[in-house]
Copies of this chain bind each other. A is one copy, B any other.
Amino acid sequence: MSKGSITVHHAQGVLRLSCETGTPLAPLLRDAGLLALPCGRGQCGKCLIYADTPPTPEERTLLGPARLDRGLRLACHTLTRDGLEVTVPHEGELRVLTSFAGTTYDREPLVRRQPLAVPPGTLEDQRDDVRRLLAAAGADRHCLTLEQLVGLPALLRSGQPLDGLLQDGCLIGVRPQDHSLALIVDIGTTTVAALLLDVDEGRILSSLGEQNAQAPYGADVISRIQQEMAWEAGGGRGDNPLQAAICRQINAMLARLLAEAGREDVDFLSLTGNTTMLHLLCGLPGEHISRAPFIPVTLEAMRLPARRLGIDSQAECFLLPGISAYIGADIVASLLAADAHHPQPPFLLIDLGTNAETVLCAGGELLACSAAAGPCFEGATLSCGMAGQDGAIDSVTAHATEGLAVTTIGHVPARGLCGSGVLDALALLLDAGLVDETGHLEADDSPLGRRVRGNALHLAEGVFLTQRDIREVQLAKAAVRAGVEILLREANLSRQDIQCLYLAGGFGSAMRPRSAVRIGLVPREWEERVRVLGNAASFGALRYVTEKDAPRAARALIRRTRYIELSAHSGFADAYVEHMIFPLS
């Protein structure tokens, strides 16, 4: 090895990086923030770059001749050499759902503002600042942090009109008078959504969705935890890189939303996410989440100063409580968004991602499970799978002469397939009989059948769905359906008893129920009962801090939930095998 330098062309410009020659290129690009490494193991074929290097055998297998000819290579299989020039493809903006079905909510926020008139101290009234403040706020106690106390004397003597921030009769902050703002964040494994809420007006001022900045450390929660454990095992020097990544991202999102609103800070933050994401945010070790018996450090609701999490705000953070290692605070939030805390007929809620978190709610009792679907619905493991970004095929329909027609996000040339496109394509193949109930793919002479070549359906230039991809989807839908059936069985309910199927999350919102039913992901009985919740976790996190009884309701939901560990359930394997088959029609 010797010293050298490489040149990287990327969306924002050109970067020159020094390196040891002969070492893998991928970590270098990741550390420069230029590339995500979904699998981190050189197997997923996602770390695409353009480079003028001889393809390795793995690249030949993973990319195929068409991509290789276009100069595409995999960063994880490319070694550095002095003078190497590579180009990182522009991914486009990530489309993250920040809309949600719920539009109204009560306005009795967890933290409310109250104008304060704090009299100055005099020789006749020598009460300390805190006591004069509490008296003015009509509060009997406070939870001001040392940092807030440090700034208090100057603030009280600044002459500007002040508001007290109160939670449950406890003073938690003092601010210049203004509207109350809250930041709502849903930290997903794949995406992070943030909303800025004007609490007084009950209006969302603006929202942002971004790919989770931890993505370079792996596509799924297990890879992330392994990266954290590796850092820990290496002595844990410096900041925990995963914690630092999400923290920097939230800070950047908060700063951007505040700048747009022309404000300095929010009054409080509501944070939700799956159990692993909240562990990583808090710096809690995820090790025991990642392996049986799957024990989190804590699932309780937390309230702590934003600064303690490294978030640049004087405000308090409310972290929603979770149910288990794999039924997290995001699902609790989704349940709030689905009004699970109010009486309603039996329903099922599914958040379809790498795991299909599934909750059955009937007669006030809840049953929950988490089925490992793998990241195929999120585009991470399919040959041409990708997230819902510009260039992703998001719908596929029949076409008389061409066999099929596609639409893409952003109406730009197709670059890959996202989850809803995969379902459509597979449903089309099943309808046409080109895929049979066992999942076997075959060509025929129809316009669609002629698009099946080399064991893959060709959807667009360089974008295809392979036999292997179909197997992945088949395994994923089997896992999801097996989970659903186990819950029904445990609740002693039939599919007909379920009056509503709430779908939470981006994929659930984008997929066409007809296609989901056609491939057997959703039972036929429920096709008309599907209700899309959109970004349910964000809306639930919003309700958690703006509706008076939401925290109590969340606690009650959790208490009434029985979590079923599928890996330990005697009936799971049978149900899994049974649902491997695609429906005949």
State which residues 263-321 of A face B: CB under 8 Å.
Answer: 282-285, 287-288, 292-300, 304, 308-309
Whether a CB of chain B sits under 8 angstroms from the CB of A258 is: no
Whether a CB of chain B sits under 8 angstroms from the CB of A567 is: yes
Q: Which of A36-44, A117-125, A194-202, A347-355 contacts B (4 or more CB under 8 A)?
A: A117-125
Once A284-B149, A285-B153 are accepted as A-B contacts, the answer to whether A124 and B300 lie under 8 Å apart by CB is no
A324 and B284 form a contact (CB under 8 A) = no
Whether a CB of chain B sits under 8 angstroms from the CB of A146 is: yes
Q: Cα distance A150–B127 when bound, in Å?
A: 39
A122 and B293 form a contact (CB under 8 A) = yes
Whether a CB of chain B sits under 8 angstroms from the CB of A568 is: yes
State which residues 551-581 of A face B: CB under 8 Å.
Answer: 563, 565, 567-568
Most B CB atoms within 10 A — which of A123, A154, A325, A568?
A: A123
Whether a CB of chain B sits under 8 angstroms from the CB of A128 is: yes
B146 and A308 form a contact (CB under 8 A) = yes
Q: How far is the CB of A565 from chain B (nearest CB, A)?
A: 5
Contacts of A324 in B (CB 8 A): 126
A285 and B154 form a contact (CB under 8 A) = yes
B298 and A149 form a contact (CB under 8 A) = yes
A121 and B282 form a contact (CB under 8 A) = no
Q: How far is the CB of A277 from chain B (nearest CB, A)?
A: 15
A130 and B298 form a contact (CB under 8 A) = yes
Once A146-B304, A282-B146 are accepted as A-B contacts, the answer to whether A297 and B153 lie under 8 Å apart by CB is yes
Contacts of A68 in B (CB 8 A): none
Whether a CB of chain B sits under 8 angstroms from the CB of A222 is: no
A287 and B123 form a contact (CB under 8 A) = no
Contacts of A296 in B (CB 8 A): 128-129
Whether a CB of chain B sits under 8 angstroms from the CB of A152 is: yes
B298 and A563 form a contact (CB under 8 A) = no
In the complex, the chain B residue whose C-beta lies closest to that of A324 is B126
Contacts of A568 in B (CB 8 A): 123-124
Contacts of A292 in B (CB 8 A): 123
Q: How far is the CB of A333 from chain B (nearest CB, A)?
A: 18
B299 and A128 form a contact (CB under 8 A) = yes
Q: Cα distance A310–B304 when bound, in Å?
A: 19
Q: How far is the CB of A168 from chain B (nearest CB, A)?
A: 15
B283 and A121 form a contact (CB under 8 A) = no
In the complex, the chain B residue whose C-beta lies closest to that of A283 is B150
Tell me which of B295, B309, B565 contacts A129 (CB under 8 A). Answer: B295
Most B CB atoms within 10 A — which of A122, A298, A300?
A: A298
B295 and A130 form a contact (CB under 8 A) = no
State which residues 124-151 of A face B: CB under 8 Å.
Answer: 124-131, 146, 149-150
A150 and B299 form a contact (CB under 8 A) = no
Tell me which of B125, B293, B297 contacts A123 (CB under 8 A). Answer: B293
Q: Cα distance A180–B284 when bound, in Å?
A: 27
1/0 per position for A247-269, CB-CB distance to B under 8 A? 00000000000000000000000
Contacts of A294 in B (CB 8 A): 121, 123, 126
Q: Cα distance A324–B294 when bound, in Å?
A: 53
A295 and B128 form a contact (CB under 8 A) = yes
In the complex, the chain B residue whose C-beta lies closest to that of A275 is B128
Q: Cα distance A152–B297 when bound, in Å?
A: 7
Q: How far is the CB of A390 from chain B (nearest CB, A)?
A: 39
A293 and B150 form a contact (CB under 8 A) = no
Contacts of A130 in B (CB 8 A): 297-300
Q: Cα distance A122–B123 when bound, in Å?
A: 64
Q: How far is the CB of A487 from chain B (nearest CB, A)?
A: 17
Contacts of A304 in B (CB 8 A): 146
1/0 per position for A139-180, CB-CB distance to B under 8 A? 000000010011011100000000000000000000000000
B122 and A297 form a contact (CB under 8 A) = no
Q: Cα distance A292–B121 when bound, in Å?
A: 9
Q: Cα distance A129–B325 when bound, in Å?
A: 11
In the complex, the chain B residue whose C-beta lies closest to that of A298 is B130
Q: Cα distance A256–B282 when bound, in Å?
A: 33
A150 and B285 form a contact (CB under 8 A) = yes
Contacts of A129 in B (CB 8 A): 288, 295-298
Chain A to chain B contacts (Cβ below 8 Å), 14 pairs: A121-B293, A123-B294, A123-B568, A124-B568, A126-B324, A126-B325, A126-B563, A129-B288, A129-B295, A130-B298, A130-B300, A153-B287, A153-B288, A153-B295
4 tightest Cβ-Cβ pairs between the two chains A and B: A121-B295, A130-B298, A123-B568, A128-B296
